[in-house]
């Protein structure tokens, strides 16, 4: 699917019906609580396209992971003007030249959650922004700034490392189990030899007593 084509459509599923973001000039399909997507990425694509049409830049924000396997269970997607920049000051004043802040404490966002049905569902939608919205051509706009891209790259790398670590841990556990089984078998054989020796010594001692 080419998002640059006039007949672009980003699909999700709400009650079995396909929901699409219409081409420019048509009405904009807004997110709403209960809207479903096939994947987290599908939700990101939808909200990013919605952001482009409305006039803001999407920011991929915090997520909640499974404590068992590290899978992402919920995610917040919001405006890049969310939050505030915190000034870093030294003991005798600013330690670096201050830059214009792009953060304005905007609360606009959607919260998506992985549902037991296997789909991703919008559980909360905050529409209003506290700053002007500017619709820019796609060519002049970046979905994410460089910091967001770097965070996503590092997050993906960390996820892969965790999966690799989990695989190694599983292999190590299986190996330790095999070693333990062999150790138990060896212990049984050694114990059998000891018992046989004791029995032999007992018989030998009894024969000596009868001589």
pLDDT at 120 over 50: yes
**With bands split at pLDDT 50, 70 and 90, how would you rate the model's confidence at 15?**
very low
- Look at residue 133 in the predicted model and tell me its pLDDT: 80
- Per-residue confidence band for 8, with pLDDT thresholds at 50, 70 and 90: very low
Please tell me whether residues 116 and 161 are part of one structural domain: no
Q: What are phi and psi of 205, to 5 degrees?
A: -65, -40
pLDDT in tens, 20-77: 453 445 577 889 999 999 999 899 999 988 888 888 888 888 889 988 888 889 999 9
Question: Regarding predicted confidence, which is higher, 167 or 136?
Answer: 167
The parent domain of residue 70 ranges over 33-140
Q: Tell whether 155 and 191 lie within a shared domain.
A: yes
**Per-residue model confidence as pLDDT tens digits over 140-194:** 445 455 666 677 778 778 888 888 888 888 899 889 989 988 888 888 888 888 8
Domain end point (choices 140, 166, 188): 140
**Of 81, 108, 140, which one is at a domain's C-terminal end?**
140
Angle CA 144–147–152, to nearest 5: 75
Q: Look up residue 136 and give its two tokens.
A: 């820019």
- Higher-confidence residue of 143 and 131: namely 131
The domain tally of the chain equals 2
Higher per-residue pLDDT: 54 or 134: 54
Domain co-membership, 44 together with 136: yes
Instruction: Give the sign of the dihedral formed by CA 43, CA 44, CA 49, CA 55.
Output: positive
Q: Give strand ranges (E) for the chain.
A: 12-14, 17-19, 36-37, 58-65, 72-79, 89-90, 93-94, 109-114, 120-126
**CA atoms lying within 13 Å on the CB side of residue 52:** 20
> Cα 137–141–143 angle (5° rounding)?
130
């Amino acid at each position: 699917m080419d998002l640059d084509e006039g007949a672009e459509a980003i699909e999700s599923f709400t009650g079995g019906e396909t929901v699409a973001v219409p081409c420019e000039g048509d009405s904009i399909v807004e997110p709403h609580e209960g809207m479903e997507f096939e994947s987290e990425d599908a939700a990101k694509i939808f909200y990013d396209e919605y952001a482009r049409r409305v006039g803001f830049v999407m920011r991929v924000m915090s997520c909640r992971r499974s404590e068992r396997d590290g899978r992402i269970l919920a995610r917040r997607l919001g405006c890049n003007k969310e939050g505030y920049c915190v000034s870093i000051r030294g003991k005798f004043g600013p330690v670096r030249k201050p830059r214009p802040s792009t953060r304005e404490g905007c609360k606009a966002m959607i919260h998506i959650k992985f549902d037991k049905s296997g789909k991703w569902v919008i559980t909360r939608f905050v529409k209003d922004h506290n700053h002007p919205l500017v619709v820019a051509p796609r060519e002049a706009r970046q979905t994410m700034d460089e910091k967001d891209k770097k965070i996503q790259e590092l997050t993906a790398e960390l996820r892969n490392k965790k999966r690799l670590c989990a695989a190694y841990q599983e292999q190590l556990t299986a190996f330790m189990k095999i070693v333990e089984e062999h150790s138990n078998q060896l212990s049984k054989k050694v114990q059998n030899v000891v018992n046989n020796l004791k029995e032999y010594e007992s018989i030998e001692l009894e024969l000596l007593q009868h001589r």
